[in-house]
């Protein structure tokens, strides 16, 4: 249960959340459902159906959460996700792009070409594709909000390809905000820092195995904590709250901004 809930904040609003099986995406979907949203959840893991069932039980109005199993590293997956939300609710008021995350932790010279491409596909392309897929419906409606989940790891050790991908998300946010504003569409982002979360239900595929890989990952953790003013990791609820604020009408005069949510680390 989130420590703070704003009942009715997303009442009758169609909200699409990607990467919703676990972590920040799952927690965002939980809060939006509790606040009355008409929610569509997307993930490439087949657990998404069970997650949607669990979330549906939380809806104060009895709304059914719509699950979509799709690979958002492809435009076809993004189009299918948008189509499912439009079919279910007739519109998409809010898109929350949460897919991404470091796969490997290592100095840049230790990455293979294939690993670099995989990091960019994981942490940049899902946001690019989803923004492209959702924009026509939002432009046609003359309204909409896109919230991209970036990262302060644009300044971080042992994950340069991920940092470059999230830098791309920041650039997309600011550039697309300029294009979309005349159509009544806002584009914003948060940049989370280190975040405490339950053990992952689905691995990203780059789990540290050797002692050297574990040491490189430890360097990431140490640098993340040292970079914060508050000297600790954040919680899922501390990440969800600003995402939901930016997604809501309370933030109606904010666009093109990326908000660091990292205990004082500005990225």
- Which residues are the active-site residues? 162
Ranges of beta strands (E only) in the chain are 14-18, 38-43, 66-69, 94-97, 144-149, 185-192, 258-261
Q: Residue 115's closest CA among 223, 224, 205, 215?
A: 205
Structure tokens at 145: 């909000």
Partner residues linked to 17 by β-bridges:
41, 96
List of residues 6+ apart from 205 with CB closer than 8 A: 103
Q: Residue 42's closest CA among 70, 13, 14, 15?
A: 70
3-state helix vs strand vs coil in the chain, percent to 5 = 50, 15, 40
- The answer to whether the CB of 49 falls within 8 A of the CB of 67 is yes
- In angstroms, the CA 29 to CA 19 distance is 10
List of residues 6+ apart from 148 with CB closer than 8 A: 97, 127, 131, 169, 172, 173, 187, 188, 189, 190
Backbone angles phi, psi at 89, to 5 degrees: -125, -5
Structure tokens at 115: 């690993």
């Amino acid at each position: 249960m989130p420590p703070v809930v704003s009942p009715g904040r997303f009442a009758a609003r169609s909200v699409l959340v990607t990467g919703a099986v676990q972590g920040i995406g799952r927690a965002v979907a939980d809060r939006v459902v509790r606040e009355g949203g008409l929610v569509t959840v997307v993930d490439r893991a087949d657990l998404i159906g069970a997650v949607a069932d669990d979330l549906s039980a939380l809806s104060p109005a009895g709304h059914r959460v719509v699950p979509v199993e799709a690979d958002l590293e492809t435009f076809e997956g993004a189009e299918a996700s948008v189509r499912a939300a439009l079919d279910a609710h007739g519109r998409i008021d809010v898109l929350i792009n949460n897919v991404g995350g470091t796969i490997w932790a290592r100095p840049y010279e230790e990455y293979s070409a294939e690993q670099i491409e995989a990091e960019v596909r994981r942490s940049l392309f899902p946001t690019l594709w989803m923004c492209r897929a959702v924009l026509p419906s939002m432009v046609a409606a003359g309204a909409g909000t896109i919230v991209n989940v970036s990262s302060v790891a644009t300044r971080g050790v042992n994950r340069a390809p991920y940092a470059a991908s999230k830098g791309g998300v920041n650039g997309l946010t600011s550039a697309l905000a300029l294009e979309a504003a005349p159509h009544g569409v806002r584009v914003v982002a948060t940049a989370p820092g280190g975040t405490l979360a339950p053990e992952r239900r689905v691995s990203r595929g780059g789990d540290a195995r050797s002692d050297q890989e574990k040491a490189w990952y430890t360097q990431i953790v140490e640098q993340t904590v040292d970079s914060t003013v508050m000297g600790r990791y954040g919680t899922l609820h501390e990440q969800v709250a600003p995402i939901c604020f930016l997604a809501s009408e309370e933030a109606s005069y904010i666009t093109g901004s990326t908000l660091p949510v990292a205990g004082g680390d500005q990225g």
